[in-house]
């Protein structure tokens, strides 16, 4: 790797680290409340569903319109297996498939991230 490329890479990594280190609540964030899934929702493994969220109160300036949906279990995000990435956060819905690797349980949540995220209510996944 030549010197300039190394410097640029280093600067980018430092910048990325700084961005990731900023507390979510200090950023100009859109945290759409998740409407579905909700309490009482049951999803089967492998089935497909529309996750929906409220887009009625977006901030005046959205710095990152691309969304990401993650599954959380007992409050822990599965960041390695996003349910959906790269969709427009202003769509208000996104189809996701329940991944085959998840264990049936009643402590799942989804998080819709634009600039930040907001967890759904806990719901159930079954075989």
Using CB under 6 A as the binding rule, the residues of this chain from 14 to 73 that contact ligand NAG are: 31, 33, 48-50
Residue placing its CB nearer to ligand NAG in the complex, 6 or 38: 38
From the CB of 48, what's the least distance to ligand NAG, in Å? 4
Is residue 94 within 8 Å of 37, Cβ to Cβ?
A: no
Nearest by Cα to 116 from 53, 56, 30: 30
Residues within window 79-108 making contact with ligand NAG, judged by CB under 6 A: 93, 95
Contacts of 92 (CB under 8 A, 6+ apart): 32, 52, 53, 54, 55
Rounded to the nearest whole angstrom, what is the least distance from the CB of residue 102 to ligand NAG in the complex? Answer: 14
How far apart are CB 15 and ligand NAG at their closest, in Å? 25
Q: How many residues bind ligand NAG (CB under 6 A)?
A: 10
Non-local (6+) Cβ contacts of 124 within 8 A are 41, 42, 43, 104, 105, 106, 108
Residue numbers at the binding site for ligand NAG (CB under 6 A): 31, 33, 48-50, 74-75, 93, 95, 118
């Amino acid at each position: 790797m030549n010197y300039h490329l190394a410097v640029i890479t280093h600067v980018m990594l430092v910048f990325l680290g700084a961005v990731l280190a900023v507390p979510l609540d200090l950023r100009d964030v859109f945290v759409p409340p998740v409407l579905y899934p909700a309490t009482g929702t049951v999803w089967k493994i492998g089935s497909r569903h529309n996750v929906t969220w409220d887009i009625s109160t977006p901030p005046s300036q959205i710095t990152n319109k691309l969304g990401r949906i993650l599954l959380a279990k007992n409050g822990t995000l599965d960041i390695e297996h996003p349910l959906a990435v790269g969709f427009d956060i202003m769509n208000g819905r996104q189809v996701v498939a329940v991944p085959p690797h998840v264990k049936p349980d009643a402590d799942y949540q989804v998080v819709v991230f634009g600039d930040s995220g907001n967890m759904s209510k806990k719901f159930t996944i079954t075989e």
